[in-house]
Structure 1
Amino acid sequence: MSVLLTGAAGFIGMHVAESLLARGERVIGVDSLNAYYDVRLKRARLARLEGRPGFTFLHADIADREAMLPLAEAHSDVTRIVHLAAQPGVRYSLVDPFAYVEANVMGHLVMLELARRLPRLEHLVYASSSSVYGGNRKLPFAEADRVDHPVSLYAATKRAGELISESYGHLFGLPQTGLRFFTVYGPWGRPDMGPWLFSEAILEGRPITLYDGGRLKRDFTFVADIVAGVVGCLDHPAPAKAPRVLNIGNHRSVEVRRFVAVLEEALGRRAVVVDAPRPATDVEETFADIEAIHALCGYEPRTPIEVGIPRFAEWFLSWRKGG
């Protein structure tokens, strides 16, 4: 039996693949290796997986149905899917909106069509986002909250994926769990996210921009905690006709300026800070209610930023020196 993992060369995907392989799973990793950010980083992540017993890589775009749908026959032993591939980033959706609809809506649909063709499918776990909560002011964000006022196209495409999954659960009985990821950070993170951008600027003496004086708050979640939740959910299939959506976060809301202060300490340098108004695509605060995922699989994040940020900084410094 095998696990099909999309986004295998991605930040979270690589870590999930390593966790599955470590416990003896066979993993079929899929990734398009697109150029949204430096492909060298994606290939370096992939190099950590290739050659390991049980790992197979397929270079393919999840939105390409001619490439993806035949996998149902070629890999009919797949019993579980972890679908993480997507077009990420909130602000980039203002630059290339078509990329989001192609990857996050069409790509999600293709994966559902593939899933329903697999004869032994037990569970599909897919990545949604805390962005679906939009400008909600009730905290912490809970799965029962309204999510019909997205403030970015990225959020709208992620909510669309949830709704399509709901319909496929009803129509075809696909057992599915959607995970609303909050702000994930850690080693091998993405160059378009705050920890990387802040670190690079601090080390090069360039200013960093903190919106609203750094008072925006985020539920920063260390990647190892996220992986434990993803794998835990994978091991607890949803009922066939009852797709579920769960938060997966740290259940702590931290001001961005506090995050930067810990990062400064880890890097041994002070940041040059520039203040700016909050962009329309950004919300004031994110904060995950994680009672449901805890009840399902015992999910309990254990890594505060005072531990997680130094781990990221150590990796980042090593990466800058050439790995």
Structure 2
Amino acid sequence: MNVPALTLNNGVEIPALGFGVFQTPPEETATAVDTALRVGYRHIDTAAAYGNERGVGEAIARSGLDRSDVFIETKIWISDYGYDETLHSFDKSAGKLGVEQIDLLILHQALPGEFQLTIDAYRALETLLADGKVRAIGVSNFMPDHLARLAEQSSIVPAVNQIEVHPYFQQKELLAADRERGIISQAWSPIGGITFYRDGSKGSTLEDSVIVDIAGTHGKTPAQVMLRWHLQEGRQVIPKSVTPSRIEENFDVFDFELTADQVIAIDDLDTGVRGGPEPEAVTLETFGRDIPEA
């Protein structure tokens, strides 16, 4: 089936549902992406810092699909921020992916304490867009203040902001800030499974009684209900898995619809507790790492 598309603020279309490879070991990435493409996913999200761009490229190359049929997204890591450094980081990612053009290239984090590096990196993205080397540009894990500071020193509004969003951590203020600027919010960890720091005392979203009950009324799984919730609220969503049955399950979310009351019930589950790194705490000293050449 064809996945519905969302239109970015520059007119480029992106599938509403994509496939993520965060924490997927490099040696398993190509097989997982093979499965995803066979199931019907047409958006693959990776990142320089994941160390698995090469596997993504291998799977796409051997899929038999036209390059124009697969939407490729990747991210620049903070260690490669700076104008010239970011231009070179594009070359590294494109080389590993085996492509000349990347559909969506985004900055992986803000660097709040060295924001000029962030600005310089984003200006490089603007150059890559003007040169036709990328089709759209954006950011990830940017908070409202980061977006405001970026807007003061750049000319192109990010097409997306990829952020942690799931029923237990909804970032409603940030979602509103994205909407106000015409930025599509992409949900990473969309079912709340990626928990770097959350203590787990709330339990798993997959076992939440509200979500489980809603799933039962539709004959769907809790994961499918959460993905449907994101889609109905207008977010682009990128679940990840290396298990073929789960990859298929996460794709099967277009044949039912949550009621307004069910959406509200999930909205009410927000705990405000982040699972990933605090964006304000990201520094080169703590999170810097070398990104290998292609």
Q: Same fold (TM over 0.5)?
A: no
Q: TM (normalized to structure 1)?
A: 0.33
The structure number with the bigger radius of gyration is: 1
Q: TM (normalized to structure 2)?
A: 0.35
